[in-house]
Structure 1
Amino acid sequence: MFSHIMVGTNDIERSKRFYDAVLAVLGAPAGMPNQNATGHTRIFYRHEGNTFSVVEPINGEPATVANGATIGFKCASPEQVRAFHDTAVAHGGTSIEEPPGLREGALGAMYLAYVRDPDGHKLCALHRVKSGG
Protein backbone atom coordinates (compact mmCIF):
# COMPACT_ATOMS: atom_id res chain seq x y z
CA MET A 1 0.00 0.00 0.00
CA PHE A 2 2.82 2.45 0.79
CA SER A 3 5.77 3.32 -1.41
CA HIS A 4 7.69 5.15 1.33
CA ILE A 5 7.47 7.11 4.56
CA MET A 6 9.29 10.42 4.92
CA VAL A 7 9.69 12.58 8.03
CA GLY A 8 11.28 15.98 8.44
CA THR A 9 14.18 16.87 10.68
CA ASN A 10 15.81 20.04 11.95
CA ASP A 11 19.19 18.30 12.39
CA ILE A 12 19.99 15.84 9.60
CA GLU A 13 23.22 14.55 11.18
CA ARG A 14 21.52 13.89 14.55
CA SER A 15 18.69 12.10 12.78
CA LYS A 16 21.11 9.98 10.76
CA ARG A 17 22.93 8.89 13.94
CA PHE A 18 19.59 8.07 15.61
CA TYR A 19 18.04 6.15 12.71
CA ASP A 20 21.28 4.37 11.73
CA ALA A 21 21.35 2.89 15.26
CA VAL A 22 17.63 2.23 15.68
CA LEU A 23 16.96 0.77 12.24
CA ALA A 24 20.08 -1.42 12.48
CA VAL A 25 18.19 -3.29 15.22
CA LEU A 26 15.73 -4.31 12.49
CA GLY A 27 18.52 -5.31 10.10
CA ALA A 28 18.46 -2.18 7.94
CA PRO A 29 21.77 -0.89 6.60
CA ALA A 30 22.99 2.63 7.40
CA GLY A 31 21.07 5.39 5.68
CA MET A 32 22.19 6.62 2.28
CA PRO A 33 22.57 10.42 2.09
CA ASN A 34 21.28 12.17 -1.01
CA GLN A 35 21.09 15.83 -1.93
CA ASN A 36 18.05 16.94 -3.91
CA ALA A 37 18.01 19.62 -6.64
CA THR A 38 17.35 22.37 -4.07
CA GLY A 39 20.45 21.40 -2.06
CA HIS A 40 18.55 19.84 0.85
CA THR A 41 19.81 16.59 2.32
CA ARG A 42 17.74 13.43 2.53
CA ILE A 43 18.71 10.15 4.18
CA PHE A 44 17.17 6.99 2.69
CA TYR A 45 16.85 3.67 4.53
CA ARG A 46 15.90 0.73 2.32
CA HIS A 47 15.17 -2.67 3.82
CA GLU A 48 13.04 -5.63 2.75
CA GLY A 49 11.33 -3.65 -0.03
CA ASN A 50 10.49 -0.68 2.22
CA THR A 51 11.82 2.88 2.18
CA PHE A 52 11.96 5.21 5.17
CA SER A 53 13.59 8.60 4.83
CA VAL A 54 14.50 11.61 6.90
CA VAL A 55 14.66 14.97 5.14
CA GLU A 56 15.41 18.63 5.57
CA PRO A 57 12.17 20.43 4.61
CA ILE A 58 12.57 21.93 1.15
CA ASN A 59 10.33 24.91 1.94
CA GLY A 60 12.90 26.28 4.40
CA GLU A 61 10.47 26.10 7.31
CA PRO A 62 11.27 24.12 10.49
CA ALA A 63 10.30 20.46 10.50
CA THR A 64 7.32 19.71 12.74
CA VAL A 65 5.64 16.50 13.89
CA ALA A 66 2.17 15.37 12.90
CA ASN A 67 -0.20 15.38 15.86
CA GLY A 68 -1.89 11.97 16.00
CA ALA A 69 0.58 10.29 13.66
CA THR A 70 2.58 7.17 14.53
CA ILE A 71 5.09 5.34 12.36
CA GLY A 72 5.09 1.62 13.13
CA PHE A 73 8.07 -0.68 12.62
CA LYS A 74 7.48 -4.44 12.43
CA CYS A 75 9.67 -6.49 14.74
CA ALA A 76 10.41 -10.22 14.66
CA SER A 77 10.20 -10.80 18.43
CA PRO A 78 9.50 -9.16 21.79
CA GLU A 79 13.27 -9.00 22.29
CA GLN A 80 13.65 -6.99 19.09
CA VAL A 81 10.91 -4.60 20.28
CA ARG A 82 12.85 -4.09 23.52
CA ALA A 83 16.14 -3.60 21.64
CA PHE A 84 14.48 -1.05 19.31
CA HIS A 85 13.15 0.86 22.33
CA ASP A 86 16.39 0.74 24.31
CA THR A 87 18.52 1.72 21.30
CA ALA A 88 16.19 4.63 20.54
CA VAL A 89 16.45 5.93 24.11
CA ALA A 90 20.24 5.48 24.13
CA HIS A 91 20.50 7.58 20.95
CA GLY A 92 18.43 10.60 21.97
CA GLY A 93 14.88 9.26 21.73
CA THR A 94 12.30 9.47 24.51
CA SER A 95 10.28 6.56 25.88
CA ILE A 96 6.58 7.41 25.91
CA GLU A 97 3.29 5.86 27.02
CA GLU A 98 3.54 2.54 28.85
CA PRO A 99 6.84 0.66 29.20
CA PRO A 100 7.52 -1.88 26.43
CA GLY A 101 5.35 -4.91 26.88
CA LEU A 102 2.42 -7.08 25.90
CA ARG A 103 -0.89 -5.40 25.08
CA GLU A 104 -4.19 -7.22 24.55
CA GLY A 105 -6.81 -5.60 22.36
CA ALA A 106 -9.38 -5.93 19.61
CA LEU A 107 -6.61 -6.68 17.10
CA GLY A 108 -5.13 -9.45 19.24
CA ALA A 109 -2.02 -9.64 21.38
CA MET A 110 0.91 -7.42 20.46
CA TYR A 111 4.22 -6.65 22.10
CA LEU A 112 4.69 -2.87 21.75
CA ALA A 113 7.05 -0.04 22.58
CA TYR A 114 6.57 3.65 21.84
CA VAL A 115 9.29 6.29 21.54
CA ARG A 116 9.73 9.75 20.09
CA ASP A 117 12.73 10.42 17.89
CA PRO A 118 14.90 13.49 18.61
CA ASP A 119 12.61 15.66 16.44
CA GLY A 120 9.47 14.41 18.24
CA HIS A 121 8.11 11.93 15.66
CA LYS A 122 6.21 9.11 17.36
CA LEU A 123 7.55 5.64 16.57
CA CYS A 124 6.13 2.26 17.50
CA ALA A 125 8.00 -1.04 17.55
CA LEU A 126 5.46 -3.85 17.17
CA HIS A 127 5.53 -7.64 17.28
CA ARG A 128 2.23 -9.45 16.73
CA VAL A 129 1.92 -12.46 19.01
CA LYS A 130 0.59 -15.51 17.18
CA SER A 131 -2.46 -17.23 18.60
CA GLY A 132 -1.59 -19.93 21.08
CA GLY A 133 1.83 -18.51 21.96
Structure 2
Amino acid sequence: MFSHIMIGTNNIESSERFYNSVLAVLGINKPVHDINDTGHKRLFYLHDGSVFCITQPINDEPAHAANGSTIGFVCHSPEQVKEFHAVAVANGATSIETPPGLRNTSTGNMHLCYFLDLDGHKICGMCRSE
Protein backbone atom coordinates (compact mmCIF):
# COMPACT_ATOMS: atom_id res chain seq x y z
CA MET A 1 0.00 0.00 0.00
CA PHE A 2 2.75 2.48 0.87
CA SER A 3 5.90 3.15 -1.11
CA HIS A 4 7.65 5.12 1.62
CA ILE A 5 7.30 7.19 4.77
CA MET A 6 9.36 10.37 5.16
CA ILE A 7 9.81 12.35 8.36
CA GLY A 8 11.68 15.55 9.04
CA THR A 9 14.50 16.10 11.50
CA ASN A 10 16.29 19.07 12.97
CA ASN A 11 19.52 17.08 13.41
CA ILE A 12 20.21 14.59 10.63
CA GLU A 13 23.38 13.23 12.28
CA SER A 14 21.63 12.48 15.61
CA SER A 15 18.69 10.93 13.78
CA GLU A 16 21.02 8.70 11.79
CA ARG A 17 22.79 7.44 14.92
CA PHE A 18 19.42 6.86 16.61
CA TYR A 19 17.75 5.02 13.71
CA ASN A 20 20.87 2.99 12.85
CA SER A 21 20.70 1.52 16.36
CA VAL A 22 16.94 1.13 16.60
CA LEU A 23 16.30 -0.24 13.10
CA ALA A 24 19.20 -2.71 13.41
CA VAL A 25 16.94 -4.63 15.84
CA LEU A 26 14.64 -5.28 12.85
CA GLY A 27 17.51 -6.27 10.54
CA ILE A 28 17.41 -3.00 8.63
CA ASN A 29 20.79 -1.94 7.26
CA LYS A 30 22.35 1.49 7.47
CA PRO A 31 20.82 4.11 5.17
CA VAL A 32 21.60 5.30 1.70
CA HIS A 33 22.72 8.93 1.97
CA ASP A 34 21.38 11.51 -0.45
CA ILE A 35 21.60 15.24 -0.96
CA ASN A 36 18.70 16.59 -2.99
CA ASP A 37 19.02 19.30 -5.63
CA THR A 38 18.48 22.03 -3.00
CA GLY A 39 21.36 20.72 -0.84
CA HIS A 40 19.28 19.11 1.92
CA LYS A 41 20.56 15.84 3.39
CA ARG A 42 18.31 12.77 3.39
CA LEU A 43 18.59 9.20 4.66
CA PHE A 44 16.85 6.24 3.00
CA TYR A 45 16.47 2.98 4.95
CA LEU A 46 15.52 0.25 2.43
CA HIS A 47 13.95 -3.01 3.64
CA ASP A 48 11.68 -5.64 2.07
CA GLY A 49 10.41 -3.28 -0.64
CA SER A 50 9.63 -0.43 1.77
CA VAL A 51 11.52 2.80 2.40
CA PHE A 52 11.74 4.84 5.61
CA CYS A 53 13.19 8.28 4.91
CA ILE A 54 14.52 11.04 7.14
CA THR A 55 15.14 14.50 5.72
CA GLN A 56 16.12 18.00 6.55
CA PRO A 57 12.96 20.02 5.73
CA ILE A 58 13.32 21.41 2.22
CA ASN A 59 11.47 24.61 3.18
CA ASP A 60 14.19 25.34 5.78
CA GLU A 61 11.56 25.60 8.54
CA PRO A 62 12.03 23.58 11.75
CA ALA A 63 10.89 19.95 11.59
CA HIS A 64 8.12 18.96 14.00
CA ALA A 65 6.10 15.82 14.66
CA ALA A 66 2.54 15.59 13.37
CA ASN A 67 0.01 15.36 16.20
CA GLY A 68 -2.10 12.21 15.85
CA SER A 69 0.37 10.40 13.59
CA THR A 70 2.11 7.10 14.32
CA ILE A 71 4.69 5.24 12.26
CA GLY A 72 4.51 1.49 12.86
CA PHE A 73 7.30 -1.01 12.22
CA VAL A 74 6.65 -4.74 11.90
CA CYS A 75 8.35 -6.88 14.52
CA HIS A 76 8.52 -10.66 14.17
CA SER A 77 8.14 -11.70 17.80
CA PRO A 78 7.01 -10.33 21.17
CA GLU A 79 10.66 -10.38 22.23
CA GLN A 80 11.64 -8.23 19.25
CA VAL A 81 8.93 -5.69 20.20
CA LYS A 82 10.51 -5.39 23.65
CA GLU A 83 14.05 -5.15 22.25
CA PHE A 84 12.97 -2.52 19.69
CA HIS A 85 11.57 -0.41 22.54
CA ALA A 86 14.55 -0.98 24.85
CA VAL A 87 17.11 -0.02 22.19
CA ALA A 88 15.12 3.09 21.29
CA VAL A 89 14.93 4.25 24.92
CA ALA A 90 18.63 3.46 25.46
CA ASN A 91 19.39 5.73 22.48
CA GLY A 92 17.37 8.71 23.70
CA ALA A 93 13.73 7.92 22.85
CA THR A 94 10.96 8.72 25.31
CA SER A 95 8.78 5.75 26.28
CA ILE A 96 5.08 6.59 26.02
CA GLU A 97 1.77 4.87 26.74
CA THR A 98 1.91 1.54 28.58
CA PRO A 99 5.00 -0.70 28.73
CA PRO A 100 5.61 -3.00 25.74
CA GLY A 101 3.36 -6.02 25.78
CA LEU A 102 0.22 -7.81 24.63
CA ARG A 103 -2.83 -5.69 23.85
CA ASN A 104 -6.34 -6.90 23.07
CA THR A 105 -7.62 -4.51 20.39
CA SER A 106 -10.60 -4.26 18.08
CA THR A 107 -8.36 -5.55 15.24
CA GLY A 108 -7.04 -8.55 17.19
CA ASN A 109 -4.39 -9.37 19.75
CA MET A 110 -0.96 -7.85 19.19
CA HIS A 111 2.25 -7.07 21.01
CA LEU A 112 2.95 -3.33 20.89
CA CYS A 113 5.42 -0.71 22.06
CA TYR A 114 5.39 3.04 21.62
CA PHE A 115 8.02 5.75 21.93
CA LEU A 116 8.84 9.24 20.69
CA ASP A 117 12.01 9.56 18.63
CA LEU A 118 14.52 12.39 19.03
CA ASP A 119 12.30 14.81 17.06
CA GLY A 120 9.06 13.76 18.78
CA HIS A 121 7.71 11.41 16.08
CA LYS A 122 5.50 8.67 17.56
CA ILE A 123 6.93 5.26 16.65
CA CYS A 124 5.30 1.87 17.22
CA GLY A 125 6.71 -1.65 17.13
CA MET A 126 4.01 -4.29 16.46
CA CYS A 127 3.80 -8.07 16.27
CA ARG A 128 0.39 -9.58 15.59
CA SER A 129 -0.52 -12.61 17.70
CA GLU A 130 -1.91 -15.72 16.05
State the TM bucket, normalised to the shorter chain. over 0.9
Aligned counterpart, 1:43: 43
Distance in 1, matches of 2:31 and 2:24, equals 10
Task: Name segments (4+ residues, structure 1) moved above 6 Å.
Answer: none
Q: CA deviation at 1:32?
A: 1.6
1:19-59 Cα shifts (integer Å, max 9, x gaps): 11111110000112110000000000001111001000000
Q: Deviations over 1:47-93 (max 9, x none)?
A: 11110010000000000110000000010000100110001001111
Structure 2 SS opposite 1:22: helix
Question: Shift in Å at residue 105 of structure 1?
Answer: 1.5
What SS is found at the alignment partner of 2:103? strand
CA–CA distance in 2 between the matches of 1:56 and 1:92?
A: 20
Opposite residue 10 of structure 1, the aligned amino acid is N
Distance 2:31 2:116 in 1: 19
> Counterparts of 1:8-47 in structure 2 under 5 Å?
8-47=8-47
2:105, 2:4 → 1: CA distance? 28
Q: Report the Cα offset of residue 8 of structure 1.
A: 0.1
- 2:124 maps to amino acid: C
TM-score by length of 2: 0.99
After superposition, where does 1:46-61 map in structure 2 within 5 Å? 46-61=46-61
Counterpart secondary structure, 1:98: coil
Q: How many residues align?
A: 130
Runs of 5+ consecutive residues of structure 1 not aligned to the other structure: none
CA distance, structure 2, for counterparts of residue 25 and residue 114 of structure 1: 15
Distance 2:105 2:91 in 1: 30
Aligned amino acid, residue 103 of structure 2: R
Query: Percent identity at matched positions?
Result: 58
Where does residue 62 of structure 2 map in the other structure?
Answer: 62
